[in-house]
Amino acid sequence: MKLVENDDVRGVAGQVDLVDTLRKAFLDSATGKTALQPRQRISSDALKLSTMAAILPESGVAGAKVYTTLAGRFAFVILLFDAKTGVPLACMESDVITEVRTAAVSTMAAMDFGPENPEVLTVFGTGLQGRSHILEMAARLPLREVRVVSRGDAGCFCDEVSAEIGVPVAQVTPETAVPGADIVVTATRSQTPLFDGDQLGPNAFVAAVGSTLPTAREVDGRTIARASTVLIEDRDQSFAEAGGLILAEQEGALDRGKVMTIGQALTAPGKVRPSGEGIVVFESVGIALEDVAIAAAIFRALPS
């Protein structure tokens, strides 16, 4: 069994097409070719321990992601097994995997179900996920402008990211961030909505990735109500964890008939925007299917 550290993962992550890897995993899930264990959490005093797992026979692997949360900090590992023999393949540090897979799944959803030729990206949050989303989306989408919303001064962040992607990046106010944006990403730990859903354009794509608590949400009920489709990763886990869904449903703002898993959407893309236009909201909680699929692809890209 191989021990794989974060530096090893970062060294080969650029060699893996993360978007295609995730797309294949979600297509397999839509046809019943995967098994998923939603996140389970236990805690003692200030320490939380979370576990979730997935079996991907078509990819030849099974895996479990285990991580701790302490004082707002996370530490992740993935245990990867051979699906045919059952033997362990690797224990992988997965802080980097978590960082890149979240941005990759948002980007995949934006590419497949967002507006054509998006030019303006708005990102709430300037942490690892905010940065990762900008880099991944700028690499795959024809962006001409990136707007950033941060609680503090994000001038240095904007300058660094702009130089890296070759697209203007500017800090804006929450009030001016959303109007005119083609894609809106929320990558914060906010407990309450970050913007007014009435500000969204008629074909906007929203990826809410920062919250996995049923009592917290980054998007309001108006955003959910206006959406033609609400995309999720897994029904059981999403309706247990996604506060954006749970609270909107309590308010009567969510029609479950317009909720689709990504796997379902990939097999019937015409149903996401039945009229050819409309707002699409992706409420992401992060599932083991994504982690295990990415971990397997990165493991195979490692030097032998």
d(CA 304, CA 298): 12
Rounded-to-integer distance, Cα 107 and Cα 139, Å: 10
Evaluate if pTM is beyond 0.85: yes
Helix (H) or strand (E) holding 133: helix 128-140
- Beta-carbon neighbour count of residue 268 at 10 Å? 11
- pLDDT value at residue 181: 98
Quick check: 200 and 185 in contact, CB under 8 A? Answer: no
Residue among 304, 303, 300 at smallest CA distance from 21: 300
Choose among 208, 239, 237: nearest CA to 106. Answer: 208
Query: What pLDDT does residue 154 have?
Result: 96
Let me know: does 106 contact 209? Beta carbons within 8 Å.
Answer: yes
Cα 192 to chain centroid distance, Å, stands at 19
- pLDDT at position 72: 85
**Residue 48: per-residue pLDDT:** 96
Q: Which residues pair with 91 in a beta bridge?
A: 3, 79
Rounded to whole angstroms, how far apart are CA atoms 241 and 252? 18
Cα–Cα distances in angstroms (integers) from residue 148 to residues 6, 56, 119, 285, 301, in the given order: 27, 36, 14, 22, 33
What are the structural domains of the chain?
Answer: 2-98+288-301 (3.30.1780.10), 112-283 (3.40.50.720)
Look at residue 68 in the predicted model and tell me its pLDDT. 97
Q: List the pLDDT tens digit at each of the 304 positions of the chain.
A: 999 999 999 999 999 999 999 999 999 999 999 999 999 999 999 999 999 999 999 999 999 999 999 998 999 999 999 999 999 999 999 999 999 999 999 999 999 999 999 999 999 999 999 999 999 999 999 999 999 999 999 999 999 999 999 999 999 999 999 999 999 999 999 999 999 999 999 999 999 999 888 999 999 999 999 999 999 999 999 999 999 999 999 999 999 999 999 999 999 988 898 777 899 999 999 999 999 999 999 999 999 8
